[in-house]
Structure 1
Amino acid sequence: MRKEIANAIIELSKQQNIAFLTGDLGFMALEPIREALGNKFINAGVSEQNMISVAAGLTFSGLQAWVYSIAPFCYARPFEQIRNDACFNKRPIKLIANGGGYGYGVMGATHHALEDYGILSTLPNMQCFIPAFAADVNPIVNKMAKIPHPCYLRLGRCEKPANFTLEKYHPWRRLVQGHGPLLIFMGPLVGSFIEPSLQIEEKNRPEIWVATELPLSLESIPTPLLKKLADARNFYVIEEHVATGGFGQQLLWLLLKNDFHIPRFFHGFAKGYISGKYGSQQFHRKESGIDLHSIFQSLNLTLTELSS
């Protein structure tokens, strides 16, 4: 999604007075932004805490500040500055975190972001965006630009099937309609489930929804999904994030708070490093049980059924 974020920022810079800061990252991706923004493009160096404070200062001069780094360096290392300088002061700082979840694979835990939107959701005046597809980036950037307080954008690798047509962006979308289990995703992981699910007979086919924004509100959940939840015997939430503070817990809390009937709940989430080894993003998904094969096995669907 790095190409899409660069294009979106360049287009935004034609409409709004923005600054873009990077923590010495983005080689072969951010050069077009540097050319477009000139001296409003700032390489802050490997100094993430200072970068957030500088961004906060720039907002007092009338600029909207967009800050880019690898996900854990964007939210974890400068957390104090995000909390104190950005959130408590309601500054229009927009955090762009590349490589959410296990996105950086073999680079290990220091480069993984497994608790990011859960942690940031605890802060006042913070809104989080987790695009599921590359096409989501531009409308999300435009939406973030209109929000007068801090936002967090978690980028990942788009996994949309090439021949699948997306509906217009919305915080909640139904991607696959079926009469089987109800699956609700957050993040790009959902892309790998679309094509296999569409091959299943409709009476057994999972119904797949994806959410892309936090915090949640009951009013934002589409009526068809609320009806499906009311009728379902089971529903499954799947995300590349730890359970604590994650989308699953936030959704469950919201439904319970509003006296909503909760069917049997299954939560697929990032479980850290079970084997003590590092590997590819797919390796960690499989180890956490959130890959396609593991989820379908838990649903009593086998991949041999997909072609039947």
Structure 2
Amino acid sequence: MTGDALVKVEGRRLKLTNLDKVLYPEVGFTKAEVIDYYTRIAPVLLPHLKDRPATLRRYPNGVDGTSFFEKNVPSHAPEWVRTVRVGTPGSSRGAEFADFVVVEDLATLVWLANLAALELHVPQWTVGARGARRSPDLVVFDFDPGPPATVVECCRVACRVREVLESDGLTPLVKTSGSKGMQVYAPVRVSAAERTSEYAKGVARRLAGESPDEVVWRMTKAQRTGKVLIDWSQNNPAKTTVAPYSLRARARPSVSTPVTWDEVEACRGPEDLVFLADEVRERVEAEGDLFAVGKPSPLPR
């Protein structure tokens, strides 16, 4: 597929443009291949985007070009694209709200891929049918290795977080970030929006206290060399994390990939947990969605 094309996706007419444009120059991965990846992965990706206002990271000239985050839906969006207005207090641009895209069908996903929205980022909460924000339904621990630490060290820390969460009655799931780190999530029920942040901060402080040579919970870069930051702040309602199965803007089309705990425990080198678009499609065909979220559990007090 090259140039432009008019297509029908689930009854929606879309014009796809510049399909032969190379978005990942190192490996020659084109926009057509990006659209193909998102089309094929949609059955497992869309449930993780459902009812979550999406922040897009667009790369119109490929991963080596200028990128920008986009919260507000583009003005040329088709009328059938679902949007939701969400308050954005504290916005760096001083905006009181933004009109986010909610990716709930394949047509919207293909439309975004055509805009070179390579990365899809979502919050740990959903919105209702009329756009009202619900309480968080996920708690997340984002592991960021300070060089020379790598994802290998992140795996060791993730296993310890898993032990804590399971002892608290939660069901942890793990995925790569598609970049240099990884994330552990658990489906939860909370009585107040701030509870996930409080809980994650407590776990991070506890593990940093137990292993100060390996783990930090504060953002200070001077403290992070060779250690793993447990970034509990990603539970702030104003923040987002990259969605499971989203592409990442690396040299190669890597993916934020759900993995098994056996794979985490067996990791011995950074490349052990790097998965590209084609590999992720094969994994899903063989294993289904390893990030399928089960019944939420209440956070312990």
Same fold (TM > 0.5)? no
The answer to which structure has the higher strand fraction is: 2
Q: Which structure would you say has the larger RCO, counting Cα contacts within 8 Å and 6 or more residues apart?
A: 2
What's the TM-score, normalizing by structure 2?
Answer: 0.27
What's the TM-score, normalizing by structure 1?
Answer: 0.26
